[in-house]
Amino acid sequence: MKNPHHDIPATLASALQEARRVVVFTGAGVSAESGIATFRDALTGLWSRFDAQALATPEAFRSHPDIVWGWYEWRRAQVLRAAPNAAHRAIAELERRVPELIVVTQNVDDLHERAGSAHVVHLHGSLHAPRCSSCGTPQPFPEGAPSEPEEGRRIAPPACARCGAPVRPGVVWFGESLPADAWNTAIRAAERCDLLLSIGTSALVYPAAELPQRALAAGAVVAQINPAATPLDARAHHNLRGAAADIVPELLA
Ligand code: BV8
Ligand code: ZN
């Protein structure tokens, strides 16, 4: 249901007009209206007995490779069926209007790219980049879209074409470091920007959640778009309560 009464505060509208360097920092909430479950809601069926944070770990993959690979294949099937929503499209449009804009996402889907965003940094990797869990060689997916694993089906991960070890999802699990180049690019952008928009993230996962704080410390305007309160509420200059697909397009108005 579109909420026509979301006023964009005049000070935010003018910050957006004047901004020369913008960072758009996104989490799973920006893909919610594309039908992609947010990280915590992605645990249904067999997986519901797991905590996402427990499943998104190297330990879980070592002990239950078929449950973890099945979970990611289910999520990948969702992404392949999904389309970018109005928020992704508005962010891509914003990039065309602002001298410099970079999307720094925690998401492992490719909806920003499919909506037309040209500068996207993935802090937590991608569902579309499986690699060998041992020799790291990138691996092609089994032909075509994954057979739709009904929720909770175990799927044995493929074996690496090079060394035979199990293939893993190309994502950053809890306890793993973020890709250095992605993280350095994100930190530099946060420290140079005039405006950072934090959209659809619970601001709980570190080090990603440091970015809005770095932007604030560097004197940028920080605005948050989220239907629920997060730890960032206390520090953001603007907190716009609501769904990304409703509010982000209004930033363009
Ligand atoms: C690291 C990829 C260290 C995988 C993800 C104790 C023990 C061990 C580690 C730690 C610890 N304490 C802290 C840590 C560090 C840990 C961490 O931060 N833990 C937290 C949870 C306490 N971090 C790490 O382990 C990171 N690595 O620290 O390395 C290190 C250092 C040196 C050397 C070696 C190691 C790695 C973190 C990356 C984990 N991988 N994703 C996958 O996707 O499966 S994080 C994962 O969770 C997602 O990426 C997502 O960003 C994040 C949170 O999930 P969600 O809540 O679903 O999503 P999001 O946060 O985006 O929230 C959804 C939001 O959307 C909500 O606010 C909701 O209100 C909103 N929303 C809903 N609908 C809408 C909406 N918004 C707008 N519109 C809507 N319609
Ligand atoms: Zn290998």
Rounded to the nearest 10 degrees, how much is the dihedral formed by the CA atoms of 88, 92, 93, 99? 140
d(CA 71, CA 49): 12
pLDDT of residue 143: 65
DSSP sequence for 168-193: EEEEPPTTSPPPHHHHHHHHHHHHH-
pLDDT of residue 46: 52
Q: Domain boundaries in the chain?
A: 8-35+84-124+177-253, 37-81+127-171
Is the CB of 172 inside a 6 Å radius of any atom of ligand 1?
yes
pLDDT of residue 51: 82
pLDDT of residue 50: 72
Q: Whose CA is nearest to atom 31 of ligand 1?
A: 177
Is the CB of 200 inside a 6 Å radius of any atom of ligand 1?
yes
User: What distance in angstroms lies between residue 170's CA and the mean position of ligand 2's atoms?
Assistant: 13
| Ligand whose nearest atom lies closest to the CA of 158 | 2
At 154, the amino acid letter reads R
Is the CB of 109 inside a 6 Å radius of any atom of ligand 1?
no
Q: Whose CA is nearest to atom 21 of ligand 1?
A: 205
Q: For domain 8-35+84-124+177-253, give its CATH number from 3.40.190.10, 3.40.50.1220, 1.10.3720.10, 2.40.50.100.
A: 3.40.50.1220
- Whether 193 has a binding-site annotation, put simply, is no
- Whether 206 has a binding-site annotation, put simply, is no
* ipTM of this complex prediction, to 2 decimal places: 0.94
| Ligand whose nearest atom lies closest to the CA of 79 | 1
Ligand 1 mutation pick, 202, 213, 247, max ligand atoms within 8 A of CB: 202
Is the CB of 46 inside a 6 Å radius of any atom of ligand 1?
no
- Whether 244 has a binding-site annotation, put simply, is yes
pTM, rounded to two decimals: 0.94
d(CA 207, CA 230): 16
| Ligand whose nearest atom lies closest to the CA of 173 | 1
Is the CB of 203 inside a 6 Å radius of any atom of ligand 1?
no
- Whether 201 has a binding-site annotation, put simply, is yes
- Omega cis (within 30) before 207: yes
pLDDT of residue 109: 97
d(CA 115, CA 33): 14
- On the CB side of 155, how many CA atoms lie within 13 Å of its CA? 23
Strand ranges across the sheet with 120-122: 120-122, 100-105, 21-26, 195-199, 221-226, 238-241
pLDDT values of the chain reduced to their tens digit, one per residue, 253 residues: 444 446 899 999 999 999 999 999 999 999 999 999 887 666 665 566 678 888 999 999 999 999 999 989 988 988 999 999 999 999 999 999 999 999 999 999 999 999 999 999 999 999 999 999 999 999 987 665 565 556 567 889 999 999 999 999 999 999 999 999 999 999 999 999 999 999 999 999 999 999 999 999 999 999 999 999 999 999 999 999 999 999 999 999 8
At 232, the amino acid letter reads L
Q: Whose CA is nearest to atom 46 of ligand 1?
A: 39
pLDDT of residue 47: 60
CATH of domain 37-81+127-171: 3.30.1600.10
Residues with catalytic roles: 124
Is the CB of 129 inside a 6 Å radius of any atom of ligand 1?
no
